[in-house]
């Protein structure tokens, strides 16, 4: 005997359809949103890959620029008689707005130059390249030459920078000096740069002053010379303001703290002192996040 078929009343069927229809529309809507999300994720993934590509290329270019800048720095430092030179150079990034040079001028004289372009990074590094090329230390004539006084060399450098008429308000500080390795006399001029520090054999620390304004601001600016007679055991520290900032508690230069750090290490040899200063900077500020470019040259008389 066959069982009777169950018939769903038409009213119930219509009610079920009315309940299912909104759910189906919601499902369709969600599927559309999921599809859009997938499309957006694909676009973001492609953008991320493109960004990684350009960041990698930029990183490679900056590394090449850093190596090129290192090539412009002295490969070796002249050690002439009793006069020895030491350096500490730490860019804030890949490249530095600081520049230094120590060059043999003739049999008796060694030139010492340091410049600090405003800011740091690539724009400052490009400016230092120009400054290095624009520095003139001697005039060469027929069978003879004349060493320029430091103040004269700085004046010519200032005029060269002003003549460029750069579109941005760009300037630099600098110091240039000559050391007579026979008489042990240091003669220098500075333009807006921190004054060199003289650490005597007795541990006394004092500034060696010379007047001069920033480079690249005023045409025809004059720079005066200052001289100091060195003795055995004396050390002269020529540095950029990055050292003063590095030993401060904020972004301002702290002259007092920086001098205390030097005087605290007065009993160390110069190489040991620079190594210890570098390690101190690593501990205090972190070598991966320096506050500013920092550079130092130490002129030491044995």
Q: Are 212 and 196 in contact (CB under 8 A)?
A: no
Q: pLDDT at position 2, please? A: 53
| Distance in angstroms (rounded) separating the CA atoms of residues 237 and 98 | 15
Helix (H) / strand (E) containing 259: helix 255-264
| Distance in angstroms (rounded) separating the CA atoms of residues 172 and 124 | 9
Q: pLDDT at position 141, please? A: 86
Its pTM stands at 0.82
Q: How remote is the C-alpha of 299 from its chain's centroid?
A: 22
Q: pLDDT at position 221, please? A: 95
| Nearest alpha carbon to residue 101 among 124, 131, 126, 122 | 131
Q: pLDDT at position 213, please? A: 94
Q: pLDDT at position 291, please? A: 64
Helix (H) / strand (E) containing 53: helix 10-72
| Nearest alpha carbon to residue 297 among 122, 179, 182 | 179
Q: pLDDT at position 68, please? A: 83
| Distance in angstroms (rounded) separating the CA atoms of residues 177 and 162 | 21
| Nearest alpha carbon to residue 162 among 112, 218, 211 | 218
Distances (CA, A) of 107 to 83, 103, 104, 253, 297: 13, 11, 8, 38, 21
Would you write out the chain's pLDDT as a tens digit for each of its 302 residues? 455 555 556 656 666 566 666 767 887 788 888 888 888 888 888 888 888 888 888 888 888 888 888 888 999 999 999 999 999 998 888 889 999 999 999 999 999 999 999 877 888 888 988 999 999 999 998 889 999 999 999 999 999 999 988 877 688 999 999 999 999 999 999 999 999 999 999 889 999 999 999 999 999 999 999 999 999 999 999 999 988 888 777 666 777 888 999 999 999 999 999 999 988 887 765 544 556 788 999 999 99
| Nearest alpha carbon to residue 154 among 209, 98, 221, 95 | 221
């Amino acid at each position: 005997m066959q069982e009777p078929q169950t018939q769903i009343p038409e009213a119930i069927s219509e009610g079920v359809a009315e309940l299912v229809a909104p759910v189906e529309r919601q499902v369709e809507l969600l599927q559309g949103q999921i599809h859009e999300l997938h499309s957006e994720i694909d676009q973001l993934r492609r953008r991320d890959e493109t960004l990684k590509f350009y960041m990698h290329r930029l990183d490679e270019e900056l590394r090449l620029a850093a190596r090129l800048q290192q090539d412009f720095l002295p490969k070796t430092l002249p050690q002439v008689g009793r006069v020895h030179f030491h350096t500490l150079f730490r860019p804030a990034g890949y490249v530095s707005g600081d520049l230094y040079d120590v060059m043999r001028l003739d049999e008796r004289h060694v030139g010492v130059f340091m410049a600090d372009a405003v800011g740091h990074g690539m724009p400052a590094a490009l400016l230092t390249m120009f400054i290095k090329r624009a520095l003139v230390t001697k005039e060469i004539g027929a069978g003879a030459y004349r060493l320029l006084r430091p103040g004269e060399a700085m004046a010519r450098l200032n005029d060269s920078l002003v003549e460029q008429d750069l579109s941005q308000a760009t300037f630099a500080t600098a110091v240039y000096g000559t050391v007579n390795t026979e008489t042990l006399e240091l003669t220098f001029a500075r333009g807006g740069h921190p004054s060199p520090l003289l650490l005597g054999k007795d541990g006394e620390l004092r500034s060696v002053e010379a007047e001069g304004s920033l480079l690249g601001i005023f045409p025809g600016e004059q720079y005066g010379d200052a001289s100091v007679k060195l003795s055995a055991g004396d050390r002269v520290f020529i540095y950029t303001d990055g050292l003063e900032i590095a030993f401060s508690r904020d972004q301002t230069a702290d002259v007092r703290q920086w001098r205390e750090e030097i005087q605290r290490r007065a009993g160390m040899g110069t190489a040991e002192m620079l190594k210890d200063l570098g390690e101190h900077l690593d501990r205090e500020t972190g070598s991966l996040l320096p506050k500013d470019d920092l550079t130092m040259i130490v002129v030491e008389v044995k």
